[in-house]
Structure 1
């Protein structure tokens, strides 16, 4: 695996390289070949997901759209955007004190900025940011797929990402779409050797989610690989990008530590109160044992299937000899999901930004489309139906944490 080598494109895939990732160039020259149909499909699937959630709310007598901006963690982000940090805590029945310091600042900061300059409520601003970021992320997924494998695989990659069982969380007031947008463009910049952009976007990703350091790890290891491959003869921008990548995550972790009086350990104590820590899979193993012995609601078996599929797809991604930064990014997210504690129903959401896991499936679906297009349509249609129904279920019906 290499940051500079490009895997063999699928047969009949276009070979024209893409331009740089800057959005200004997108505005001047238009999107790459084939991107518009892929993005239209992404938008159609996610719009259908929104409509199914609205209809489910109507059937159950709930407010039609409130669940998009006021579900679980969304309420914490909106409160931080309105009041700042240090003003909201929750004491669990077990006596743990959960504070708003567990939530990273980029998303609520953007909500606050948008409501300052435009006449939006915090909930409206949160959704606008999430939806816009989802579109930017989907375009980035297409660009990466096109760069590596061509138009067909890129389209399949975007389509599959739109139809993941838990992709409803791209359309609610959560940080997954923002984190995914920053991560995918940072990884693309690594593939193109634009290290300053890669480092800057990785730093922003580190300010968006606790798992944001996965992007910094991918950028830093890719940079180290380049240093070894070139025997130290690398541009200064590479060093600058690698050093910049972890700064966002580190800055927030240290800031929380300073607020709690424990510079290095304060943030991790805050997360422990939310039962969020890396325990090498002990908590996950206990959950799986209890689920197998005693069963559980539909959300938990489905979450277990999604996590197991993520582990399998990571193994297939490694066998595909995908570029190093994509493998590292996906691998860190899989490791955090498998080895971390916390609610098992939330684990599929943590895997949502790990789009490289879909590369093996996208390549297989593309080959099926060329030989038996009807089979590919049936398979994708089935995945989409499952995604729409499961998304409405976990958002409206189930009471499990998202």
Structure 2
């Protein structure tokens, strides 16, 4: 397969028909995870729905939806936790649903995540099927969706968090780039930039793919697959969401263009290229049984890098490589709370595509059995995780 090669996209109804079995499988995995959470939570005297909608970041999003921005918590050590750290698209959608339906803000956040997670799964299928379908058939798209569903922290996809919403916007923006729909790609990238800081990864993918496309067409005298003005407009639109919010925060806080970084610093979030994370991992090797956690962390990072390099060797399209590389760099290189890293990596779905290809090559009975086993493990781990430390 060639990187940068854009094939004609099938009609959307045909794409959705092909994706239907994968989406049914995805829904089954998520239902299993929620059932496990309900049973586990009940055994511990906790309410599963509260864990999904009214703890950790979910509370911050719901508060922004209800009262707008301006709330902060000052900690005894001097840190300031401001709600300006949370990008606005999810709270806007929660407010909209609350306004037009009887749903509470927490209920609205849960509803958005349910719809967004299915939309994200469809986007993952579309990207995988477009890139690898000619070589492996429709199976690779289904395998990619199911692998994304059975990730150990896949339960976050059902929480009133922004990961599912962001992944949906990112996946469909990447698909739009792959199929030459540049204006749609730019609009979706702008919306992704209003959802999470890692929206920069989608912007980078649109920009790099657009720039490479211009250079390739000029140097090789290829016939443009999309009018140049459409590509330029998509590239222009892509950064508007993230840039608009960051500049608004800077003006509100008086910090100028770097005001948002000051807000993140109040949460002790920053980027140090992975130095703090490396120190944390090294610290896990100083005693037993924490050494087991250290081995698990090192293994996980090595696998992520290996799968990413495999994508390069398989000549994945440049937009996927850029997007995945930026997501991995921001997640692994951040100096924030290390328990958040697994969920911060959820949007990096293209890193699973080489694994999906391997799964697609197995006999159907073996791939189904393996996926079912992973789904059970994921469901149990998700229930244990949310009833314990959970995602901060």
Distance 1:43 1:299 in 2: 31
Give the structure 1 partner of residue 265 of structure 2: 272
Give every structure 1 segment of 4 or more consecutive aligned residues whose post-TM-superposition deviation is greater than 6 Å. 297-301
| Alignment partner of 1:100 out of 83, 95, 112 | 83
For 1:90, what is the secondary structure of its paired residue? strand
Give the structure 1 partner of residue 229 of structure 2: 236
Q: Which has the higher contact order (CA 8 A, sep 6+)?
A: 2
Listed as ranges, the gaps of 5+ residues in structure 1 are: 7-15, 20-25
CA drift of 1:282 comes to: 1.1
Change (3 A) 1:85 1:161: same
Give the structure 2 partner of residue 382 of structure 1: 373
Give the structure 1 partner of residue 158 of structure 2: 171
CA-atom RMSD in angstroms? 2.0
Give the structure 1 partner of residue 181 of structure 2: 194
| Alignment partner of 2:41 out of 49, 52, 57 | 57
For 2:124, what is the secondary structure of its paired residue? helix
Give the structure 1 partner of residue 310 of structure 2: 316
Do structure 1's residue 289 and structure 2's residue 270 form an aligned pair?
no
Give deviations 1:319-360, integer Å, cap 9, x for gaps.
111111111111100111221111111111111111111110
Give the structure 2 partner of residue 207 of structure 1: 194
Distance 1:389 1:305 in 2: 21
Do structure 1's residue 35 and structure 2's residue 19 form an aligned pair?
yes
Contact conserved, 1:303 with 1:344, CA < 8 A, in 2? no
Distance 1:68 1:210 in 2: 22
Distance 2:127 2:305 in 1: 22
Contact conserved, 1:18 with 1:32, CA < 8 A, in 2? no
| Alignment partner of 1:47 out of 23, 31, 37 | 31
| Alignment partner of 1:121 out of 104, 113, 134 | 104
| Alignment partner of 1:185 out of 147, 155, 172 | 172
Change (3 A) 1:393 1:165: same
The TM-score with structure 1 as length reference comes to: 0.90
Give the structure 1 partner of residue 212 of structure 2: 225
Change (3 A) 1:300 1:130: farther
Distance 2:151 2:391 in 1: 18
Do structure 1's residue 399 and structure 2's residue 389 form an aligned pair?
yes
Contact conserved, 2:147 with 2:352, CA < 8 A, in 1? yes
The TM-score with structure 2 as length reference comes to: 0.92
Contact conserved, 2:284 with 2:293, CA < 8 A, in 1? no
For 1:34, what is the secondary structure of its paired residue? helix
Alignment size in residue pairs: 380
Give the structure 2 partner of residue 149 of structure 1: 132
For 2:73, what is the secondary structure of its paired residue? strand
Distance 1:300 1:117 in 2: 48
Give the structure 1 partner of residue 62 of structure 2: 78
